[in-house]
Structures are given as C-alpha cells and as structure tokens.
Structure 1
Amino acid sequence: MDTTGVLDEALGRLHRSGPERLGRLTNHAPMAVEALAARGQARSVHRWLDLYAPRLEEFPAAVEPVTEAGWRTALGDPRRAADWIAHFGREIQEHPWRDVLAQWWPRLLPGMYGGSTHPVIRVGHAVRTLLAGDTTSPRLTELAHGLGYWAARHHTVTGLTPLPGGGSAAEALDAVKPLAVREGGFPARLDRVRGLPVWAATVPDPEEARRRLTELVRAATHRYATHGHGNETMLVHAATAPNAVLRTLPALPRDLWGQSLRAAWTASAAVTAMYAPDAPVPLAATCAVTAEEVAERALAHGDEHVIKLTDTALDFGDGTALAAALRAMELSEPLRR
C-alpha cells in the first residue's frame, strides 16, 4: 500500500469532482488511483490522473440534506448524490467508519446493481485503503463518496427465477444463459434478466461464504480470458464487483458475510448473462510474464478497466488470471489524451 502520501493527494484532487460524468458514466479515477498505489505504482498516480482529468466533471449541487427519518425517500435518486455524500461525510466524522459501514451495508447491498456496480467497487477500493493503512482524512472522505454514490444509484433486482446451477463457481457461471436480446445499456439489459442459476443461495457459515466468494472472483477473472470479447469493458465487472465485496468482508460483522456472497453472485451472474459472447475463444498460451510486468503493462495501457481487472487478477497471480489481464489490454482501447 502507498505510504508516500501520493494517494491522499490524488484523492484530495478527485473529491472536488462528482461521481459521474455526462449524467450516466462513472468517474473511475478514485478506484484506478487506489489500485495503482496498492500495486506499487504510486510514482505514476498523478501522471495517470492528468491524462484522465478531462473526463472529470464538477461536484454536483446539493438538493436537501438526507436525514435519518427521510433517507428511504432519497435512496436511489441520482439527483441526491451530493446530499448522500455529505450525509456519509457527517456520519463518518461522528462515528467510527466500521460502524457506519456495518449499519449501511445491509441497507445498500440489495441495490448494488445500480451504476453498473461501480459504487460497490468504489467502496471496496476505499475499504482496502482503510484496512491496510492510516485512516487519513482523504481516505475516510473517499469512503463517504463511495457510500454516497451507492445510495444515490441504489437499484435492486427482484423476482429472479432460480435456475439449475453448478457445483463450482466456474460451472455455475458456465450455466448462466445469455440474454436473447443483448442490446442497449446496462439498465436496459438488467431489466431483461429473468432467471439466474442457483449457486450461493444458502451459505450460513461465514468462513464458507468467504471461501466461496474467493472462488467466485477467481472463476470470473479466469473466465474473462476466454469470454472477455463479449464486451471488453462490462465483463470486467463480473470479477471486480464480487472482489469489492470480498475485500470489504474483513471490515464487516461476520453475520453479514452470507448475504454479501449472495448479492455478489447475483451481480456477477447477471453481468455474465447480459454481456456473454455466443462462444468462448481458446485460452491463449501465456509467455513467461511476471505479475510485476503485468502491473507495469496495465499502467502503460492506462485504461481504467484494464487497471482494475489487473488489480483483481493480481490478487490471485496464477497464469490464467494474468492471461485475463493481458486479454483486457488486448481488447481495450488505451487511455490517451
């Protein structure tokens, strides 16, 4: 983890910007700079951020304060993003951040599908910094921004028909049936998801939930190496969204781990249904490339989704995971000014 202060400086720059741009696209910079810092690339954080800066927009205007009595009416209203961020900023100033997270996690978890799962991913990056290093003001503020964005984009998925699954996470992902109509953006496709395979419906033991969540993230990362061409950007989230949940588990009460696994599986499986290709490609033969070299290549490529998938792949570091990161670099457009 970065200990030079560069990450805090970068987050300070970013907290003047809003969580989205053009009214619908996510600001990925806070997640990407955290991933770069966590992977030993702190020296390049500001240079990368300078390239990304033209995509940032001003922080949105406030509407009215979120209150304990009226928070439910503000949930899922993207116009209230500034109100939600301010609310969590106050909460984290007044209470330990773990207590705030434990209170709001079960409230927000059913709506992790809003914002194309980016809000929970941002929270996962923020929690990693807090668990690994000092609880500095910029890092606490970043958690407030992530939680506020999640609350503003909160969107639930209900009424899914349970379908036959598989014994392993990889088999269950293979059992996901692609949508018959794969057109439109994330919200339109999500509305067409009617059923998903059962895999993580009842896992009462917290340690088993963590084991299975780890298995899911690994399987989704590996799957990208052969299926990422279905949509090089959106299929990244089949791995990074559940990994955000996995990274957050140590900060949560253990009695929340089972429901966290179920929500993460639903998100990963839904993204798979929405963007899976008609057929996989063979797994490319990997050259003798090290994890450090893959991290360097992701930085040189610069695309925010490449950086984040590489960050997840490096959590495992096996050949197939690294091949998935390299595949993302091959499929995605590099970041250029």
Structure 2
Amino acid sequence: MDMSDAADGIHEEALERLHAAGPERLGRLTNHAPMVVEVLTAHGRADRVHRWLDRYAHKLEDFPATVSPVTDADWTGALGDPRRAADWIGYFARALDERPWRDVLARWWPRLLPGMYGGSTHPVIRVGHAVRALGAAGGTSAPRRTELAHALGYWAARHRPVSGIAPLPGPPDAAAALAAVPPVPAPEGGFAARLALVGRLPVWAAETAGPEEARRRLAELVRAATHRYATHGHGEETMLVHAATAPNAVLRTLPALPPGLWAPSLHAAWTAAAAVTAMYPAEAVPYAGPGERVRAEDVLERAVDHGDEHVIKLADTVLDVGDGRAVAAALRATALTAPLASP
C-alpha cells in the first residue's frame, strides 16, 4: 500500500466514524469534523486526522432521529426544516446510490443555491469539501458519496434564502466592493438575527458574461475576502472566516457543475460574502505579524497545532490563495481565536 492509499483509508475510516454523528450540536452549532478531516487529507496530513478527531470528539452529537422520508413528490415541504435533517440525508443517500454523484449535484445545486445562507453558510462549505474529495484520485468510494449525502442533506434542512436586498452602486473590483458594504447594527442573537437586518448590498460582477469570467471573478472574491480578514478579522474572528471560505467552497465546486450554473453561483457567493461582511463590521487594523516571513506551506501546520476548526479551514483557503497577505490572514486567525481545548 502506498502513502496515498493509506491516506485515503484514514480519510474514509474517519468519515465512517463521523457519519454516526449529526450535522449539528445543541440545535445550532455545526459539526465541522468532516470538513477538517478532508482538509488534512487533501494536504498530506492524514497522520493527524485521528489525533485531531480525538480532540474534537466532545463536540459531536448522535445522528438525529428521522421524521418521515423526503420524496421527489413532497421535497418542497421539507426544504428549510432543520427537524428533517436525517430525512434529507437519507433522501440524498438513496439518490447517490441510484445516480452518479455529479448528476445529483447538478440537479440539486440550483435548487439549494438560493438558500446557501442557512446554517451560517456551513452547509455549502461542507459540500465544497465533499466535492473536492470526490474529485480526487480514487475519490468515489462509498464513504465519500455518503459524505456528499450528509452535506447536501444538511444544506436542504438549513436552506434559508435572502430577499428584499436593495442594490447599491458597486465598485468594479471585489476588494473595493467589500469595503463599500454598509454595516448593519448588531442585534441580540446570532447569525440569523443579523442576516435579517441586511437590507442593502453593493452590486458587484452583475454583468458577468460567461462561465470562465464567473470563475475568474469568484477567485477574485475569495482572494479579496481572505486578504480582508487580515485587517478586519477582529470584527468577529470566527464568523468573518466564512466571507472567504463560503465563496471558496463554491469555487471548488464549479468544475463539477454545468457551466450554465457558474454565473448564478458567483452571484450567490457574492451575496454571502457581502452579507457576512455587513453583519460583522470593523475598522481596519494593520496586521503587524510575521506575514511574508512565514512560508505558505507552514500555515496549515500552525493551524493544526492550534486545533480550532475555523482556523484550519481558513488556512486551507489561504493555501489556495497562496500569497503573503493571505498568509497574514491565517496568522491573524490563529492569534485571534482560542485554541481547541481537549475534553
């Protein structure tokens, strides 16, 4: 057995272990373990998977109970109902047993895309990690298909559209457009309460002409949001991570989707990144850390030693961006966030 086979085995053992757990705990907090496991495996650190899981295990809850099966005839009534998470996961498990995973994804992506803001954008992020694993060499194993079923099912259960957002004139580049996002007042409550107050966002990339331009603009957005974390992450060290990781999950999924879905994906990702930016505003504070002196390849190692799931997932996006300002964002997240505590 070569090293890649061993890493795949560790990844799939971990997924089988995790699929006995639900997508959330305490009725609102996301289970990040499958996403982190995929990050570690994708970056050649499968040797750290089970040790990290042992640290995270106290955050897992049992798989939720079913209510009644979701069917092709009645799925609209179950969409956005978090009580139906197990039902949705079962639906997608059956669909993925019957049809190729790309076909299932292409059918459901446009149905789910308008509601990517539910679950604090975690469901689409989990889908992005599942798709990357399935697209890797030898990636269509049963545990990886099951992981896509869990990810899509979680998205369907937490599906939450946004509407009534008034468009504002927007600058032509992503960084300036994020800087132009008007802040919303901080209410009592979490993500959902803040999201309800987002009423105006700049228009950006609305005239995107075709799939390749959509992909390029989405990569620009990921880079801009990652860079912005380095100077604005103190506005909310955890939630502002999603302004970068949610659009990056969409970017990673594009190659598995029909090109006609790429531009709508860009627009949904922009709304997500801009809304998160509005919900957790902060004045820019220049980052004074080591930045350029830290090699990009060392970023993930530092994040894994730190242990926090959001720090690890931002480091993963930072490696995709790959420049010094992105490295500074990863180091800023490590400095701002409390390390993962062992139980």
TM-score range, shorter chain: over 0.9
Tell me which residue corresponds to 2:257: 252
**Which residue in the other structure is 1:208 paired with?**
213
101, 105, 114: which is aligned to 2:105?
101
TM-score, normalised relative to structure 2: 0.96
Deviation at 1:96, TM superposition (A): 0.4
- Partner SS state of residue 247, structure 1: helix
Q: 1:2 to 1:186 in 2, by over 3 A?
A: farther
User: What is the percentage of aligned positions where both structures have the same residue?
Assistant: 71
Amino acid at match of 1:115: G
Match of 2:226 in 1: 221
1:21-64 deviation digits (Å, cap 9, x = unpaired): 00010001001111111111110000000000011000000110
Distance 1:200 1:13 in 2: 41
What is the CA distance between 1:287 and its match in structure 2? 5.0
Q: Tell me if 1:293 matches 2:298.
A: yes
In the other structure, the counterpart of 1:191 is 196
Superposed CA offset, 1:267-291 (max 9, x none): 00000000121x1101325252112
Structure 1 runs (4+) greater than 6 angstroms displaced:
none
Structure 1 match to 2:235: 230
Where do residues 126-141 of structure 1 align in structure 2 (5 Å cutoff)?
A: 126-134=130-138, 135-141=140-146
Are the equivalent residues in 1 in contact too, given 2:292–2:325 (CA < 8 A)?
Answer: no
- The change in CA–CA distance for 1:3 and 1:307 in structure 2 (over 3 A counts) is farther
Q: What runs of 5+ residues in structure 1 fail to find an aligned partner?
A: none
Aligned letter for 2:57? A
The residue aligned with 1:42 is: 46
SS at match of 1:315: helix
- Equivalents in 1 of 2:301, 2:56: separation in Å? 18
Question: How far off is 1:157 after superposition?
Answer: 0.1
Q: Quickly say closer, same or farther: Cα 1:188–1:229, change in 2 above 3 A.
A: same
Supply the distance in 1 between the matched residues of 2:4 and 2:83 (Cα, whole angstroms): 34
- Whether 2:76 is the aligned partner of 1:72: answer yes
Q: Give the distance between the partners of 1:120 and 1:67, measured in 2 at CA.
A: 22
The reply to whether residue 159 of structure 1 matches residue 160 of structure 2 is no
**Quick check: 199-208 or 24-33, which moved more?**
199-208
Contact map agreement 1:210 1:246 (CA 8 A) in 2? yes
Mean CA deviation greater in 327-336 or 34-43: 34-43
Q: CA deviation at 1:295?
A: 1.2
CA contact (8 A) 2:134 2:145 kept: yes
Choose the corresponding residue for 2:32, options 15, 25, 28. Answer: 28
Q: Distance in 2 between matches of 1:64 and 1:203?
A: 42
Partner of 1:273: 278
In structure 2, relative to structure 1, the CA distance for the partners of 1:257 and 1:225 (3 Å cut) is: same
For the 8 Å contact 1:210–1:261, the answer to whether it is kept is yes
Normalising by structure 1, we get a TM-score of: 0.98
- 8 Å CA contact retained: 1:29, 1:49: yes
Determine whether 1:306 maps to 2:311: yes
Q: Which moved more, 1:182-191 or 1:70-79?
A: 182-191
What secondary structure does 1:156 align onto? coil
Alignment equivalent of 2:336, drawn from 331, 334, 337 = 331
Q: How many residues are matched?
A: 336
Do the aligned residues in 2 keep the contact of 1:294 with 1:326 (CA within 8 Å)? yes
| Cα contact 1:2–1:37 (8 A) shared by 2 | no
Q: Distance in 2 between matches of 1:182 and 1:244?
A: 28
Distance in structure 2 (CA, Å) of the matches to 1:35 and 1:123: 13
Preserved CA contact (<8 Å) 2:231 2:284: yes
Distance 1:92 1:71 in 2: 16
- The answer as to whether partners of 1:229 and 1:331 remain within 8 angstroms in 2 is yes
- Larger displacement relative to structure 2 (150-159 or 202-211): 202-211
Distance in 2, matches of 1:212 and 1:113, equals 20
